[in-house]
A = this chain, B = another copy of it.
Amino acid sequence: MSRAETSRRGSRPGRAGIRDVAAAAGVSITTVSDALNGKGRLPDATRRHVREVADRLGYRPSAAARTLRTGKSGLIGLTVTTYGDEPFTFTEFAYFAEMARAATSAALARGYALVILPATSRHDVWSNVALDGTVVIDPSDHDPVVSELVRQGLPVVSDGRPAGSLPVTAWVDNDHEAAVLGILDHLADAGARRIGLLTGTTTDTYTHLSTTAYLRWCERVGQDPVYEAYPAHDPCAGAVAADRLLARPDRPDAVYGLFDPNGTDLLAAARRYGLRVPEDLLLVCCSESTVYASTEPPVTTLSLKPRRIGTAVVHVLIDAIEGLHSDRPVEQVIPTELIVRTSSQRRSPRTTVSPPRSPESD
């Protein structure tokens, strides 16, 4: 069978193949491939001619064929832990959104795209998409998906220090212990005598590290721990837990909340009990949301710098994919930032208006 006029079968109009370009330009397939990829040794005239013809035909190389041939898809998985059947957790919205945004930007700048893939998704979906590597957010102890990916030889970079002996390629995280200790010291400096904690019942690393840091701090300064834990994925449970914490007989005079909505929930609970913030109750919570800049009063927040983390994670991963032995460390610690506002400043009642914050740039 002759191979001439191959364009008659297969491809519908609108999808020109490399053969069509070769025929139209009067050269061979090899020449087209080399001309478009800048590979071979061709005179610039041929190169320009081929490019021009390709543009005229609206030629787009088939991503599938290229992936099959080269073994690289240009796709990076973005895996998010799930509570329940939803792709990502409710309480991490702002964090996740910012982190994903930065990760997408960073990946894109290096020619990669991100695929959202919940860890609990059906196995066939995972194997149906060709990934060059994966970003895992807060992997659980012995995540089967991570093990499977690593077994396949794919680089896996984790946002959050991996628990147990999870064999990730690299990880990026904050120093959560240091952050909690810093906040507790900050509150103590502001005059707090008994600091309470609003924490979660889940077993992820963030919750675990933060809680143990709190307990160790209490032990060190000789304070009885005062904390309430609730399932962080339930938005209503947070309000209830905040209320419980302030209803205790040993009511704290300062509270740190580990999750984003804790600030508003604690403010509401304080109002119910007639507690003034910051006079009667000092408040800090971990959040990326800007609403805390304009609450009454503005609430001091701890930012985990999700944008820096997202960027770092992607860069480390792509370095691993491309086999670059970069100077980026395999274990990166991103500093947190405490944004001090009125709710944690008992000592300086003069200024109650928080300075305007410019749009974050990192």
Distance, CA A148 to CA B153, complexed state (A): 36
Residues of chain B within 8 A (CB-CB) of A153 are 12, 14-15
Identify which of residues 137-162 in chain A touch chain B, using a CB-to-CB cut-off of 8 Å: 151-153
A74 contacts the other chain (Cβ, under 8 Å)?
yes
Please give the distance in Å from A269's CB to the nearest CB on chain B.
Answer: 9
Structural contact, B151 and A58, CB atoms closer than 8 A: yes
Would A87 and B105 be within 8 Å (CB), given that A14-B153, A291-B261 are in contact? Answer: yes
Residues of chain B within 8 A (CB-CB) of A151 are 14, 58
Structural contact, A267 and B296, CB atoms closer than 8 A: yes
A294 contacts the other chain (Cβ, under 8 Å)?
yes
A61 contacts the other chain (Cβ, under 8 Å)?
yes
A67 contacts the other chain (Cβ, under 8 Å)?
yes
A-B contact pairs, 13 of them (CB 8 A): A14-B152, A15-B152, A61-B127, A62-B68, A64-B130, A67-B130, A87-B105, A111-B128, A112-B125, A113-B115, A114-B116, A235-B290, A236-B357
A29 contacts the other chain (Cβ, under 8 Å)?
no
Distance, CA A150 to CA B168, complexed state (A): 40
Distance, CA A94 to CA B100, complexed state (A): 13
Distance, CA A268 to CA B295, complexed state (A): 7
A223 contacts the other chain (Cβ, under 8 Å)?
no
Distance, CA A115 to CA B234, complexed state (A): 28
A300 contacts the other chain (Cβ, under 8 Å)?
no
Instruction: Please name the residue on chain B nearest to A233 by beta carbon.
Output: B359
Total count of chain A residues near the partner, CB < 8 A:
70
A60 contacts the other chain (Cβ, under 8 Å)?
yes
Number of copies: 2
Distance, CA A179 to CA B298, complexed state (A): 31
Interface code A176-212, partner B: CB below 8 Å = 1, 0 otherwise? 0000000000000000000000000000000000000
Known: A74-B125, A111-B125. 5 other contacts (CB 8 A): A12-B153, A62-B130, A64-B130, A93-B93, A93-B94
Interface code A120-134, partner B: CB below 8 Å = 1, 0 otherwise? 011011011110000
Residues of chain B within 8 A (CB-CB) of A359 are 90, 234-236
Please give the distance in Å from A47's CB to the nearest CB on chain B.
Answer: 17
Structural contact, A87 and B74, CB atoms closer than 8 A: no
A101 contacts the other chain (Cβ, under 8 Å)?
yes
Residues of chain B within 8 A (CB-CB) of A111 are 122, 124-125, 128
Instruction: Please name the residue on chain B nearest to A131 by beta carbon.
Output: B63
Structural contact, B296 and A271, CB atoms closer than 8 A: yes
Distance, CA A60 to CA B96, complexed state (A): 30
A75 contacts the other chain (Cβ, under 8 Å)?
yes
A85 contacts the other chain (Cβ, under 8 Å)?
yes
Structural contact, B294 and A239, CB atoms closer than 8 A: yes
Distance, CA A225 to CA B340, complexed state (A): 39
Structural contact, A66 and B294, CB atoms closer than 8 A: no
Structural contact, B108 and A118, CB atoms closer than 8 A: yes
What are the nearest 6 A-B pairs in CB distance?
Answer: A64-B67, A268-B294, A63-B130, A64-B68, A87-B104, A264-B294
Distance, CA A58 to CA B150, complexed state (A): 13
Distance, CA A196 to CA B60, complexed state (A): 50
A337 contacts the other chain (Cβ, under 8 Å)?
no
A232 contacts the other chain (Cβ, under 8 Å)?
no
A358 contacts the other chain (Cβ, under 8 Å)?
yes
A356 contacts the other chain (Cβ, under 8 Å)?
yes
Instruction: Please name the residue on chain B nearest to A123 by beta carbon.
Output: B60
